[in-house]
Structure 1
Amino acid sequence: MKYKILTLVTLLITASVPAHAQWSGAVAETRKLAAETRSEAAKTRDLITSEKKAVVNEKAQLEKVIAAKHKQHEELKARYEALLQQEARLKEELAQQAHELKTIDGTIRTSAKQARDYFHESLTTPEFPHREPVLSVILTPETFPGLEGIKNLLRLYMEEMSASGRVQLREGSFVNADGRTETARLLRIGTFTAAFKKQDGTAGFLRPLHEGSLLGAVPGNPGWTLGRGMRAYFEGESDTFPVDISNGAALARLEQDQKGIYEWLQTGGLLVWPIILVGIIALGLVIERFYTLGRLRGNSDRNMQTILSMIRARKWHECQEFCARASNFPTCRIIGHTLGYMGATREIIENAYQEAMLKELPVLERFLPTLSVLAAVAPLLGLLGTVTGMINTFQTITLYGTGDPRMMSGGISEALITTQLGLAVAVPIMILHHILERRVDALMGDMEEKGTSFTVALMQQGQIRQGESYGAAA
């Protein structure tokens, strides 16, 4: 269209100079061109209108599509947010389930470890050799036991419960005290007593060995009474059997009872021997004191009546001879010594009597202070042994820790045995010392009492000269 307008303008410019004939042709041509131009313009307007209408329709369609897409976007966004929330909730639930699963796994493994430790000490384990493989599978690291493992563990416990209510008599092998394996008749009563009887009639108790896989004989002789009852049951002659309801503690005690006194003393350490020496010395002194004091008579009432009657009759020579014959009475010896001072003053008579008593006193009290010292030394030595044993115990703890209590038993045994022995020696010494001391006091009291009666009797017979006392003379 632009090309046609330019052509028209060109013709107009060209036609400005030509003649009138040409002008008419140009006008006609121009009108024709104008008509064509209007026709084309109308077509163009129709085309533009049609295209505008198409564009509007297309825009409306696109707006609908955009609105639908926007709505879909919002829906997807909301769904995405919901999925995020669901994911967070599922993660939290998964974490809780993982914690619960871990707790369950720990509980199962703990129960399996406890079961393994229990079965290692159970008398029924040799009859169920499948226990160890089952427990090994459950205790495999980084593997969840699962429901099957729980069932197997429960099955092992049910087997143990069932076995604990049965009495099992069978032929089997055990390890004797020498470490050799022998075959005999084995008896199991529940889960707390097991015994054997060999063909030669020897019977004894059994205990678990080698993590429960074998049974071993308990060292020590069960005694004639228990042995007879055990053999009678094995032979069908009795319906009763001695059982150990202490779960092995009584059997361990039976083993310890086989130790002799020398082995028991050796566990107390070196300080046991000084304590024993103190006891031997004290025993010798006590025997000597009882022998010496036993020869002395304390109750001299009858002799004193005889002596007083002789004094009243003034039979001085007979009185001295009687005191010489009754020399086993300290009182008679003292009176016999004092009769040599008759006719002296009362002060001299009393001093002579006191002198004779002082001569008798060392004989009566000899070794009594020594016994008192020994009674105090014995528990002190025991206390020293206690301190020494505890020092050894703490040194063991420093080196090896407290994992194995048996490593500390030596020091504790030394501490307890020395204390026990020290007290066992000291208590009898103190009691015997008190008895001897009371015996001496009784003799001294008898001598003092009879001395007063003797002095009064002499005064009544005028055998004491009146004179000044030492205090007045001084």
Structure 2
Amino acid sequence: MKLIKCVVASLLLVAGSATQVQAAEDLNQLLQQVRQSAAADKATDQQRLKEFKADAGKQAQLLQQAQDRLAAADARQAELKQQFDRQEDELAEKEEALRNRSGQLGEVFGVVKQSAQEFRGVMGDSMISAEYPERLKQLDFADNKRIPTVTELETLWFLMQQEMTASGEIKTFSHQVVQPDGSRLQQQVLRVGPFTAINEAGQYLSYQPDAHHLNVIPRQPDSGVQQQAAAFFSGSQNTLVVDPSRGNLLKLITQTPTIEERIHQGGLVGYIIIALGALGAIVAIWRLLRTLMCDLAVRRQMKNSAVPKQSNPLGRILLSARKADSRDDMELRIDEALLQEVPRLESGLSLLKLLAAVAPLLGLLGTVTGMIGTFQSITLFGTGDPKLMAGGISQALITTVLGLCVAIPLLFCHTLLAARSKRMLQRLQQKSLALLIDHTDRAVANPARAANENGVSDAA
């Protein structure tokens, strides 16, 4: 047992000695690597220092060159400044000499430039510039300080003469016309002086000075005017509607609301008024047709009173009278039949009267609410923009117009239908009275026969 312990201890001692030896070798290698790295870094630093010392001469040379260029630039600057001052003095002397030599011509040249500027504004807004788009550039000399040349003066004279001549022409030329959808089409354009331009389809065109092109006015005049313009373009007619304001009046057409747009301005109240108007129109037409049919049926019944029919008021009255046993009974039956016919003849008239009365009240309601909105806008934005106030007031009054447009026809229809119903009722009363008189006459002439009859015939 002791022998084993001694062997184990010997082995442990040998293993520990081997580990220490290995560690010593690793440290020596690390120290050797550090020494080698330090030597390499030192060599690199020496090389860099040598190169820096070698470049110091080059840097000094470059600095000297830069200083030389700076000195040359300063000298050139001083020379140019002297030259500028000298030329400025010479320019002032020449301007003074020019002023002395031109005398009153300087004022003339000033007037010419001012006229050129004003005329350029006229040409910019003229429809003639669509045919000659490059002529505006020929008056650029008006913005220069120099004296205009003879050629430029002649150009001004030529352009003025061209404008005057073209103002009295009716001329056709080809031009790219901008359509309402933004597309461009090459079309033949007929120009009537500087006032109006139309295309082959009879559409009126407007001139855009900024883009120097013609475009189709989005909202054209009525179809009759366009047909007249198309006929004038083709040469089959010698009459044409011309805008003397050079397109301004035609442009106002696009700003004028249509009937549909006016209706939409009325809002919800306007739609309700229109719905009531449509209902009233349906009732009025229905009652008018019923009244006409009833009148025709009564007229036919009057021609054939011996055979009364249940399909008309007079026939129903005759049938009711034939059931009477005596004159008093007949009178009562006729009165009862007349009372039954009155609601049929006057049905729908109360509704028409109600709609005619309600429509203007609704229009007034819409106007009041619209004015409230207008005053609210004035409170928020002030009264600086008259168009805002005018537009709001116009929109508010639309409902009043709609209410009156509905009420007036309905009132006429109610009056007409009431008069026809009253006339029909009077006719029935007359026939009933004639029926009673006829029965009385026959009773006086032949009492026995009159007592045996169950009915009577119409004496009309």
> TM-score band (shorter)?
0.5 to 0.7
Aligned residue number for residue 5 of structure 1: none
1:164 corresponds to 2:151: no
Aligned counterparts of 2:303 and 2:163: Cα–Cα separation in 1? 87
Aligned counterparts of 2:126 and 2:303: Cα–Cα separation in 1? 82
1:366 to 344, 347, 354: 347
- Given the superposition, is the C-alpha separation of residues 429 and 401 from structure 1 closer, same or farther in structure 2, using an over 3 Å criterion? same
| One-letter code aligned to 1:277 | A
SS in 2 for 1:281: helix
1:424 corresponds to 2:405: yes
Aligned residue number for residue 329 of structure 1: 312
Aligned residue number for residue 453 of structure 1: 434
Q: Deviations over 1:388-444 (max 9, x none)?
A: 445444544552635463x45643553454344333333332222222112211111
- Given the superposition, is the C-alpha separation of residues 303 and 123 from structure 1 closer, same or farther in structure 2, using an over 3 Å criterion? closer
Q: Deviations over 1:160-214 (max 9, x none)?
A: 55542234544444433233555544443212112346xxxx6633213255844
SS in 1 for 2:182: coil
Aligned counterparts of 2:368 and 2:161: Cα–Cα separation in 1? 50
Aligned residue number for residue 276 of structure 1: 274
Aligned residue number for residue 325 of structure 2: 342
Given that 1:298 and 1:330 are in contact with CA atoms closer than 8 Å, whether structure 2 keeps it comes out as no
Given that 2:301 and 2:314 are in contact with CA atoms closer than 8 Å, whether structure 1 keeps it comes out as no
Aligned counterparts of 2:180 and 2:400: Cα–Cα separation in 1? 33
- Given the superposition, is the C-alpha separation of residues 232 and 191 from structure 1 closer, same or farther in structure 2, using an over 3 Å criterion? same
Given that 1:175 and 1:182 are in contact with CA atoms closer than 8 Å, whether structure 2 keeps it comes out as yes
Given that 2:198 and 2:229 are in contact with CA atoms closer than 8 Å, whether structure 1 keeps it comes out as no
Aligned counterparts of 1:385 and 1:394: Cα–Cα separation in 2? 14
1:177-192 alignment to 2 at 5 Å? Answer: 177-180=180-183, 183-192=186-195
SS in 2 for 1:208: strand
Q: How does the TM-score come out when normalised to structure 2?
A: 0.54
| One-letter code aligned to 2:198 | A
SS in 1 for 2:203: strand
1:229 to 231, 255, 264: 231
Q: Give the drift of 1:258.
A: 11
Q: Give the drift of 1:445.
A: 0.5
Which deviates the most, 177-186 or 444-453?
177-186
Would you say how many aligned residue pairs link Structure 1 and Structure 2?
Answer: 320
- Given the superposition, is the C-alpha separation of residues 249 and 332 from structure 1 closer, same or farther in structure 2, using an over 3 Å criterion? farther
Aligned residue number for residue 40 of structure 2: none
Aligned residue number for residue 415 of structure 2: 434
- Given the superposition, is the C-alpha separation of residues 115 and 264 from structure 1 closer, same or farther in structure 2, using an over 3 Å criterion? farther
Which deviates the most, 218-227 or 352-361?
218-227
2:363 to 372, 382, 386: 382
Aligned counterparts of 1:367 and 1:254: Cα–Cα separation in 2? 42
Aligned counterparts of 1:339 and 1:297: Cα–Cα separation in 2? 22
Structure 1 unmatched ranges of 5 or more: 1-108, 139-151, 308-318, 466-474
1:56-205 alignment to 2 at 5 Å? Answer: 121-126=125-130, 127=132, 161-180=164-183, 183-196=186-199, 204-205=203-204
Given that 2:191 and 2:197 are in contact with CA atoms closer than 8 Å, whether structure 1 keeps it comes out as yes
Q: Give the drift of 1:354.
A: 1.9
Structure 2 unmatched ranges of 5 or more: 1-113, 144-154, 452-460
Q: Give the drift of 1:366.
A: 0.8
- Given the superposition, is the C-alpha separation of residues 378 and 230 from structure 1 closer, same or farther in structure 2, using an over 3 Å criterion? same
- Given the superposition, is the C-alpha separation of residues 264 and 454 from structure 1 closer, same or farther in structure 2, using an over 3 Å criterion? same
Aligned residue number for residue 357 of structure 1: 338
Aligned residue number for residue 10 of structure 1: none
Given that 1:125 and 1:212 are in contact with CA atoms closer than 8 Å, whether structure 2 keeps it comes out as no
Q: Give the drift of 1:355.
A: 1.9
Aligned counterparts of 2:355 and 2:182: Cα–Cα separation in 1? 48
| One-letter code aligned to 2:322 | L
Aligned counterparts of 1:300 and 1:367: Cα–Cα separation in 2? 20
SS in 1 for 2:206: strand
- Given the superposition, is the C-alpha separation of residues 304 and 403 from structure 1 closer, same or farther in structure 2, using an over 3 Å criterion? closer
Aligned residue number for residue 289 of structure 1: 287
- Given the superposition, is the C-alpha separation of residues 276 and 161 from structure 1 closer, same or farther in structure 2, using an over 3 Å criterion? same
Given that 1:135 and 1:153 are in contact with CA atoms closer than 8 Å, whether structure 2 keeps it comes out as no
SS in 2 for 1:124: helix
- Given the superposition, is the C-alpha separation of residues 458 and 240 from structure 1 closer, same or farther in structure 2, using an over 3 Å criterion? closer
Q: Deviations over 1:311-345 (max 9, x none)?
A: xxxxxxxx7xx33xx2233233123223333226x
- Given the superposition, is the C-alpha separation of residues 173 and 441 from structure 1 closer, same or farther in structure 2, using an over 3 Å criterion? same
The percentage of aligned residue pairs carrying the same residue is 30
SS in 2 for 1:244: coil
- Given the superposition, is the C-alpha separation of residues 392 and 125 from structure 1 closer, same or farther in structure 2, using an over 3 Å criterion? farther
SS in 2 for 1:271: helix
SS in 1 for 2:350: helix
Aligned counterparts of 1:212 and 1:135: Cα–Cα separation in 2? 18
Aligned counterparts of 1:203 and 1:448: Cα–Cα separation in 2? 64
| One-letter code aligned to 1:339 | R
Q: Give the drift of 1:221.
A: 6.2
Aligned residue number for residue 19 of structure 1: none
Q: Give the drift of 1:280.
A: 1.9
Aligned counterparts of 1:270 and 1:280: Cα–Cα separation in 2? 15
RMSD: 4.8
Q: Give the drift of 1:449.
A: 1.3
Aligned counterparts of 1:400 and 1:382: Cα–Cα separation in 2? 27
Aligned counterparts of 1:119 and 1:393: Cα–Cα separation in 2? 41
1:244 to 242, 245, 254: 242
